[in-house]
């Protein structure tokens, strides 16, 4: 999905730029924060995290100190640790909408689907105007089996993001589970203007106007012109989801697992693929 976020450096800097005035004994914490940000910019994530830990030790009652370390955990894909630090932020500042949102994302990434929805709902309770934008909540609702609610979330998201094939696909998935496959096909949201490869072919696949090999061919043809592997990631993810929707569990598993192999390079949707693969593994064990 298309996600508009600030870069981590900007987030880390903003975390402390907006801090409350420090008490005299905590006057050195601003310097520690800047050192942590500098270490991050140099690519020294363990060093930055160690400095953030010192910052917390120096000023444990400053929520922004915990938030900073949580962001560094996220950068290292240590999502359980990030969730724990966001929880500390929430204890100190229950009105921190950013902390509820961030912990919801971290909970999703460690497979705690119900917890992610609860956090997203708390976020929206603080900033209700963000509900139309909250596609992450829609994805969590899908994996929670709340298909009617998910369908509604993606319908609302369409009002603020009208040219995103992925929104149409996730709406289709929820509709297929809530109302049946035939109804989902009939109600597939029309999309124009999504220039990402192979999104046009993905939309045509769900509309019944293309075949899986068309999606793969478009992705392979685009590899030389786009970020390495990204078209293949999206091809694999949405082919896996397509086969799951039509009941072909073997091919669904194969493609989802291929997408999960590229998870670390593909942001939140990479985590979606990885979480989906973990769900399939758990189902196989049962």
Residue 9 has pLDDT above 50, yes or no: no
Flag the least confident range among 7-16, 109-118, 127-136.
Answer: 7-16
Round the average pLDDT of the chain to a whole number and report it: 91
Q: What is the mean pLDDT of residues 33-60?
A: 95
What confidence category does residue 8 fall into, taking pLDDT thresholds of 50, 70 and 90? low
What confidence category does residue 30 fall into, taking pLDDT thresholds of 50, 70 and 90? confident
pLDDT attached to residue 12: 52
Convert 235-255 to b/e letters by CB count within 10 Å (16 or more is b). Answer: bbbbbbbbbbbeeeeeebbeb
What confidence category does residue 240 fall into, taking pLDDT thresholds of 50, 70 and 90? very high
| CA gap 106, 128 in Å, rounded | 21
Residue 102 has pLDDT above 70, yes or no: yes
User: What DSSP string describes 85-126?
Assistant: HHHHHHHH-TT-HHHHHHHHHHHHHTT-HHHHHHHHHHHHHH
Q: What is the mean pLDDT of residues 30-45?
A: 93
Q: What is the mean pLDDT of residues 4-20?
A: 44
158 closest CA partner among 268, 6, 1: 1
| CA gap 146, 34 in Å, rounded | 43
Distances (CA, A) of 110 to 18, 139, 272: 29, 14, 10
Residue 242 has pLDDT above 60, yes or no: yes
CB atoms within 10 A of CB 114: 12
What confidence category does residue 187 fall into, taking pLDDT thresholds of 50, 70 and 90? very high
pLDDT attached to residue 71: 96
Tokens representing 168 are 């149409």
């Amino acid at each position: 999905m298309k996600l508009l976020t600030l870069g981590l450096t900007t987030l880390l800097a903003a975390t402390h730029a907006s801090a409350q005035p420090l008490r005299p004994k905590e006057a050195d914490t601003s310097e520690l924060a800047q050192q942590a940000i500098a270490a991050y910019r140099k690519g020294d994530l363990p060093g930055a995290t160690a400095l953030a830990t010192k910052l917390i030790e120096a000023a444990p009652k400053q929520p922004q100190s915990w938030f900073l370390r949580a962001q560094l955990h996220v950068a290292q894909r240590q999502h359980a640790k990030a969730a724990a630090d966001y929880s500390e932020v929430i204890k100190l500042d229950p009105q921190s909408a950013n902390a509820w949102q961030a912990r919801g994302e971290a909970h999703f990434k460690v497979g705690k689907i119900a917890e992610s929805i609860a956090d997203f709902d708390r976020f929206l309770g603080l900033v209700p105007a963000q509900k139309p934008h909250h596609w992450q909540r829609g994805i969590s609702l899908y994996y929670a089996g709340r298909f009617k609610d998910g369908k509604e979330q993606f319908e609302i998201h369409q009002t603020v993001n009208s040219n995103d094939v992925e929104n149409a696909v996730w709406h289709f998935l929820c509709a297929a589970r809530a109302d049946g496959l035939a109804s989902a096909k009939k109600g597939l949201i029309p999309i124009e203007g999504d220039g990402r490869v192979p999104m046009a072919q993905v939309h045509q696949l769900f509309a019944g106007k293309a075949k899986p090999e068309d999606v793969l061919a478009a992705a392979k043809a685009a590899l030389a012109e786009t970020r390495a592997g990204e078209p293949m990631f999206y091809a694999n993810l949405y082919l896996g989801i397509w086969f799951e929707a039509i009941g072909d569990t073997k091919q669904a598993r194969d493609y989802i697992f291929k997408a999960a192999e590229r998870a670390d390079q593909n942001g939140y949707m990479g985590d979606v693929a990885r979480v989906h693969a973990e769900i399939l593994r758990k189902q196989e064990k049962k």
